[in-house]
Amino acid sequence: MAKKRKTKRQTPSVPVSLLSFHFNYCQTFMMTRLLLLLLFYCCLLSFPFHHAGPVIAEAFTGTYGINYGRIADNIPPPESVVTLLKAAKIKNVKIYDSDHSVLTAFKDSGLELTIAIPNENVKDISASETRAMDWLKENVQPFLPNTKIRGITVGNEILGGGDQGLSEALLGAIKNVYNSLKTLQLEDQILVTSPHSQAVFGNSYPPSSCTFSENVMVYMKPILEFFSSIGSPFYVNVYPFIAYKSDPEHIDVNYALFKSNPGIYDAKTNLHYDNMFEAQVDAAYAALEAAGYSDMEVVVSETGWASAGDASEAGASVENARTYNFNLKKRLFKRKGTPLRPKKVLKAYIFALFNENLKWGPSSEKHYGLFNADGSISYNIGFTGLRPSSAGSSFLSFKDIGAEGRSMAYVKTLVSCIALLSAVFLTT
């Protein structure tokens, strides 16, 4: 009997087009998952992470700030000033006291404020930590967190000013304020420092030769030691205008105004300076290095140019003030360092927000304002005033690099990641 032949079951053939579709679908699915995963990690990178260890308070976001002086009887009220500052996109604001009307007006504004203990209160604050605590409970704690108080300056230009009693009291006041902040657990939110004038230096030309004067060093050394231990920067007032008007025959005004000029050469560091502003900042860095604090950051607590002055005040004019502040603004928004410290981004508070009609001293003291008393611009460097000005409307629009601060870096990272992912997706 013949055996039945077993027939081999044939597997149905799959159309090539279906296989191709399946392969392409899987490839697209895997690529999409990969892209989403990469995008997720990019998003994580675009936000800051808190690191373990002590946190150092920072009073400055970005690079550009303003000094809001109020020695005047005709300037706008603090509420209008908040509107003005927000329109100008100036986020960092420094005042010379702790006026409660200002602190209240700045509530929920998003503006970051550095307040001050005036010179006349320094001795009292230095007397005991209790005095410092009382001051904080009256002038700081009630306004937090809605008013963003980011810094406290203790005194202003005390060292080198000739008042030995104040010089002796400064360190104690600084320590009492900081220790009281620490008791309130605010030391990582509010920076403590003290601004200095050029009078603390014995010599500043060339920049590399700068050192602190001997009569100042006895007070400066322990202050620097304490600032170094708590991570505070060195605040210094920098005024090419004052240097120029004291010696206009030997200083090139273009060098003081950031305009084209031969500049100066520092043989010791082999560095070239094409503007006095950076030279004065690097002189401060050189003095800190000579004193043993080469890692300390320098922040310019005041700089500006008078738009008018006495007949004897060379260079005080609207045109020079506009040129200096316009070029300085461009310089700061580049977010770069100085020739001596190229990796330390330079920050500065401009002096000042308003012309102050009640200031004493030479006429120039009344004419440093970027804005007139009525809120209009004193001259055009790209800001918008509260009302039209004879100086003309703004002709330049600056992106708020200074006010955006570190958030700009996060946005740039995220945008770069999205652009990269898009490029990868389009080429697959």
CB 64 within 8 A of CB 402: yes
| Spatial distance between the Cα atoms of 169 and 243, rounded to a whole number of angstroms | 29
Q: Do 377 and 383 form a contact (C-beta atoms < 8 A)?
A: yes
- Specify whether 302 is catalytic: yes
Would you state the structure tokens that stand for residue 414, as one six-digit string? 């995220």
CB 219 within 8 A of CB 168: yes
Angstrom CA distances, 232 to 64, 113, 323, stand at 18, 16, 32
Q: Taking the CB of residue 248, how many other CB atoms lie within 10 A of it? A: 14
Amino acid type, 156: N
Could you tell me how many helices (H) and strands (E) the chain has, helices first? 13, 13
Among 364, 377, 354, 358, smallest CA distance to 241 is for 364
User: For residues 114-140, b (16+ Cβ closer than 10 Å) or e, as one string?
Assistant: bbbbebebbbebbeebebbbebbeebb
58, 112, 297, 302: the catalytic one is 302
Concatenated DSSP letters for 285-312? Answer: HHHHHHHT-TTPPEEEEEE---S---TT
Contacts of 186 (CB under 8 A, 6+ apart): 136, 140, 141, 144
Catalytic residue among 58, 157, 187, 356: 157
Q: Which amino acids are annotated catalytic?
A: 157, 302
